[in-house]
Chains A and B, each alone.
Chain A
């Protein structure tokens, strides 16, 4: 491998990782934008999503060491698995909002945020009890196709991650910018009281934000499994914290910011591990979090936070 090949490979590694962070970061941003709430249960919605995906693939008979699927069977299984995983994770997000957060909606202070930490640990321990502590092999229906670009290798799973996250992020952007519900969401983010007076049903907007954010986290969890061929009950916290950093980096509450932030964090992690050492990846990423908070608290693209005066 020449140095150029290595750089290209690290870009491939970093953007694939970053695409997953971006999907997860969007959930933080959507909820923060509307409620000014940092939703820590989001970490483990992502983790639950990867297990839902695993269950779906097993239902479709995708086993470790089974023959890879091709053509329409592959696309069908993937689309169905993504759809069910996203729906299930989205509903989980809605349930969390309804059961644990809505009763606290008007409580001032950090009560709601602390509740999300509690919910996060409940999910974490439920999965631990349910599936056990060991890492689970995540069967892949993907054929092991790869393309050589010089000395770098681009695998089908990376292409899949890029395509799926571009589609999802494109869909989200369209939804937020061009639908009535999206308009209502933006209005609520700007000024919930004014939005309510204009006839926006704020409760529905909040539910929608949780549903969309959690569905994207579920998709991220499924991608995680397909990418690493592994999942475990611990994946939520490390991945989630980095995605949260991505959201802050891009400007929390800012949808395009979260996407760019995710990819940036992925690239920083890949090149940090390459230039310095893997053990330093967290030091680098979280130093960036601190630096951003100190010098550019609104993030690279500015915060689109509620206008609460």
Chain B
């Protein structure tokens, strides 16, 4: 039996729904355009994946609220390429997701994937469908390398774009910083055997050697293994001044923990953007994380005045602080939405191919500045920022899981 109050509530709920429907009389006739969003929501990088996914969804929501594209309602189509068995991104799952995007006719573009290892599996599938992908954080250089066009653009034109720089800059520029600013003479290098991890470690190592740093050893880790103590004992024996770890956080948190336990604390330790995630502080935590350097393959934007509104809105909406790759994800989504708008406004039919062409020619003002791509899909302004983890107990507004504020900005890494 309905009480009077519940009747009243039902009536008012109906009124609200009806009111909404009448407020946008055209919405029923809007074409639905989906934007695929792929990241590694399951596994060791789950927190970062949630941040970037929310960034992309926020851009979509804002565009809808502003009725940016007439006659088009945008929808985010979120897929997870992480699997429980892999414990992190899983290339096989990424390929399945790419097929899901491609087979859904309403999907006209994709934001992501977050990880290079996933991107390598998705791009060939997206290429045959002309589906434009804009990644916020997959930094392995191979995917935009024209020498590997047969692999990554079998259909001719590039479909893979980035709102970040690549590891061809991230690794070497950090190596420059280690040689020129930190004056490190000897190093040991580790990677997590993944596409990203190996690539950035190779790039770092090559530039380090060029800069006169002596590489005392290089080891690959199994990201699912628990025990790295014997590797660190070996590193302790080699006694390097610096340690570089290329990889993401599944192995990363264990590397950070065990390095702290076993190596002398004077060793300068660094990783790439793979270390930037909440797990660095919730999993590894202080004091182990203290002093680790990490990079972002984008300008440092979260503390910039241009991003102030965004940061406040994001925090209010998701109750988490955005980090730089949240912004590159948001920027990438804005670029994609703009491309869809351009095609729609020009009166041409909304096809994946037209959207891809519009993305390739994009020149869009975003939070990080004007985003434009070169002929391979790489962002034109390539900036690598360096950060260092540091515990600031006096800053109570910076929560442990907010990697954006736990990593303190140091500056732009020296370009070779």
Contacts and interface: CB of A to CB of B under 8 A. Distances in A.
B100 interface: no
B230 A134 contact: no
Contacts of A132: 46
Interface size on B, as a range, is 35 or more
Nearest to A144: B261
B82 A133 contact: yes
Interface in A60-99: 64-65
A137 B193 contact: no
Interface in A277-294: 277-279, 281-282
A279 B283 contact: no
Interface in B205-231: 219-222, 224-231
B353 to A, nearest CB: 37
A237 B231 CA distance: 21
A278 B228 contact: yes
Contacts of B257: 228-230
A194 interface: no
A36 to B, nearest CB: 28
A17 B234 CA distance: 16
B44 A134 contact: yes
Contact of A124 (B84, B220, B234): B84
A273 B250 CA distance: 19
A281 B283 contact: no
Interface string A1-36: 101011001100110110000000000000000000
Contacts of B41: 133
Contacts of B234: 6, 273-274
B229 A270 contact: yes
Interface in A34-59: none
Q: Is the interface of A mostly helix, strand, loop or mixed?
A: helix
A17 B228 CA distance: 11
A137 B256 CA distance: 12
B225 A1 contact: no
Contacts of B229: 13, 16-17, 270
A276 to B, nearest CB: 10
Interface string B261-302: 110000000000000001100111111000000000000000
Nearest to B400: A64
Contacts of A210: none
A134 B278 contact: yes
Interface in A209-250: 224, 228-230, 232-235, 237-239
A128 interface: yes
B42 A128 contact: yes
Given A133-B44, A228-B258, A238 B224 contact: yes
A137 B284 contact: yes
Contacts of A278: 219-222, 225, 228, 230-231
Given A133-B44, A232-B87, A10 B230 contact: yes
A285 to B, nearest CB: 10
A159 interface: no
B253 interface: yes
A277 B218 CA distance: 9
Nearest to A129: B84
Nearest to B40: A133
B230 A269 contact: yes
Given A65-B286, A238-B224, A228 B254 contact: yes
A273 B232 CA distance: 10
A128 B84 CA distance: 8
A274 B230 contact: yes
B27 interface: no
Q: Which residue of B85, B220, B225 has the most chain A CB atoms within 10 A of its CB atom? A: B225
B370 interface: no
A301 interface: no
B230 A14 contact: yes
Contacts of B261: 155, 229
Q: Which residue of B41, B230, B249, B262 has the most chain A CB atoms within 10 A of its CB atom? A: B230
A115 interface: no
Given A229-B257, A238-B224, A125 B84 contact: yes
Contacts of A134: 44, 46-47, 249, 278-279, 282-283
Given A13-B229, A65-B286, A278-B222, A133 B46 contact: yes
B132 to A, nearest CB: 29
B249 to A, nearest CB: 8
A89 to B, nearest CB: 18
A271 interface: yes
B12 interface: no
A1 B227 contact: no
A237 B85 CA distance: 9
B390 interface: no
A228 to B, nearest CB: 6
A282 B225 contact: yes
Contact of A277 (B46, B85, B220, B227): B220
B386 to A, nearest CB: 25
A166 to B, nearest CB: 20
B195 to A, nearest CB: 15
A281 B225 contact: yes
Interface in B36-58: 41-44, 46-47
Interface string B10-41: 00000000000000000000000000000001
A273 B47 contact: no
A111 interface: no
A120 B38 CA distance: 28
B87 A273 contact: no
B236 A1 contact: yes
A5 B254 CA distance: 24
A282 B82 CA distance: 23
Contacts of B228: 273, 278
B274 to A, nearest CB: 14
A228 B222 contact: no
17 contacts: A13-B227, A133-B82, A134-B44, A134-B47, A136-B282, A228-B226, A229-B257, A234-B84, A234-B224, A234-B250, A238-B224, A238-B226, A273-B228, A274-B234, A278-B231, A279-B193, A282-B225
Interface of B: 41-44, 46-47, 82, 84-85, 87, 193, 219-222, 224-231, 233-234, 236-237, 239, 249-250, 253-254, 257-258, 261-262, 278-279, 282-287
Q: Which 3 A-B pairs have the closest CB atoms?
A: A279-B220, A135-B283, A273-B230
